[in-house]
Structures are given as C-alpha cells and as structure tokens.
Amino acid sequence: MSKTLRWWEWGACIGIIVCLSLLIVLPMLKRARTQSGMRSCQSNLKQLALAFKMYANESPGERWPPRSPIPGNWGVDVHKMYPEYVYDLNLFICPSSPRATVDTFTLRRNREHPGEQIGQMHPDCVSSEFYIYLGHAVNHDEVALALYQASREVPPEALGDLEIQVEIPGFDLMRAGASGTPVMWERIPERDKDFPHGSRGINVLHMDGSAIFVEYDPYNAATNFPATYISAQTFCRDAPRLSGDCY
C-alpha cells in the first residue's frame, strides 16, 4: 500500500532538488561568465591589432606605434592612435578586470585640461593598467629585462619619438614581421584573485592578430614571455605618472 507524502516531506524533496540543481548550474554560469569576459578582452585586443596594422601600413618601414612617453606607462602612445585609428578609448580596458570601473581613464578635474568635461574619458588618462605594450619585438625574458633596463636610461620625453626609440641599442622596433611575436598582453596582477578570468592566466595578442589565453606561472620558462615572472615584476609593476587630472 502506497504512502502519501505529507506537505513538509514534499517541501524537503523539492529543497534537495533545488540545492542539487544550484550546485550544478552555478558553476556553469560562473564558467560562462568567465568565458564571456575573456572573449570581450580578446575582442578588444583584436580590434587594437587592426588599428596597429592600419598605423603600420601608413608609417615608414611599417613600424607599429611607439610606446607611451609617460614614465612608467608600458602602453601604446594613445595620442598616435586616437581618434584616427582607435575611435573608442574603452578598447584599452579589459571589461572583465576587477580594476575596471566607471571612472577608468576619465578626468576627475580639468585644471590641466581647461574646457574638457569632467567625468569623460581622455587620452591623457589612458595607461597600461590593463594591457602592456612595449613597442619593441620581445619574445624572451632576457631581451625583455635588457629592454626594461635600457628604457629607463632614455629620457622620458624621448620615449614617444620613433627616431630615438630606434637608437636603443640591440632592440628592434615593433614592425610587420614574425606572426608569433607577442604585441600586447594583459597586465599580470600581484594577487591571484585579481586575475580577470577566474584563473591564473592572461590574454596575449600576437602580430598575426590572434589573441590566445596563456596560463601564468612564476616558474614558466623564459621562452614563455610575456607570461613570466620577469614580465610580471618589471613592466607590470611600474606605476604610470599620469596627469593629476586623471582618476
């Protein structure tokens, strides 16, 4: 003879089913959100790659844009790119990064930018907070460290000058060439929880326009640049000296 379940027994059964469903669904939603954020950041990198190639097509020797002249700012010289080649400064932000806010790259005042609207994004405020760009062809820790040290000896006001950049001995400017050369990559954070995609790794843009997720480990081989300890402790730790008007 079958027994009819009481209402609280039905409630308990439903509660167990709901809990089990959440245990299955929530991780799936988290993975989907992570994948979506990763694709958004990769999309930004790919759009920047197109802009860099457009710039290179019109520059002498097919040179890619130079690095920012701002001390400590290991990013592209935005003034060479915006607005002719890059129309939206949001492309320099990784959307899934925990550091991205509504104030990112905006003006908090306009003492040095009279007439500019407070709260609006400004090229002077764009930094290497999210993406690192060296302006030179580097694919090994040894070369990266040498470039880092050499660049610190070049006057800051000269870093944005292509001709002076060429004079940094032993280093090739970024130009059309090897497709596997890393061009731009996500900044490696100091804390694991600050990695933007839920795992220790960064998106790396290569010269052929591909953006690939690479696992980061401080013990990675030097040939795994830029997902290496040297990369993290040099280019990713300098603080850009931006205008005091910027957030």
Per the structure block, which two tokens stand in for 56? 């290179």
Strand (E) positions, 110-237?
131-133, 182-186, 201-206, 211-215
pLDDT of residue 170: 46
Residues in CB range of 88: below 8 A, 6 or more apart: none
Domain ranges of the chain: 34-233
**What's the sign of the alpha-carbon dihedral 172, 59, 241, 134?**
negative
Distances (CA, A) of 201 to 38, 194, 213: 10, 11, 7
Q: Are strands 211-215 and 182-186 parallel, antiparallel or unpaired?
A: unpaired
More reliable by pLDDT, 61 or 179:
61
Q: Is 14 exposed, middle or buried (0-12, 13-18, 19+ CB in 10 A)?
A: exposed
pLDDT at 98 over 80: yes
Q: Which whole number is the average pLDDT over 74-79?
A: 94
pLDDT in tens, 137-193: 888 888 888 888 887 776 655 544 433 343 444 444 555 555 678 999 999 998 888
Task: Categorize the per-residue pLDDT at 92 as very low, low, confident or very high, splitting at 50, 70 and 90.
Answer: very high
Q: What is the DSSP string of 116-129?
A: PPTTSB-GGG--TT
Q: What is the DSSP string of 221-234?
A: -GGGTTSSHHHHHT
pLDDT of residue 72: 87
Q: Which whole number is the average pLDDT over 4-29?
A: 65
More reliable by pLDDT, 7 or 164:
7
pLDDT at 33 over 70: no
Task: Categorize the per-residue pLDDT at 48 as very low, low, confident or very high, splitting at 50, 70 and 90.
Answer: very high
pTM of the model: 0.80
pLDDT of residue 47: 94
DSSP state of 106: B
In this structure, of 46-60, 98-112, 136-150, the range with the lowest mean pLDDT score is 136-150
More reliable by pLDDT, 21 or 53:
53
Angle (CA) 163-169-171 rounded to 5° is 85
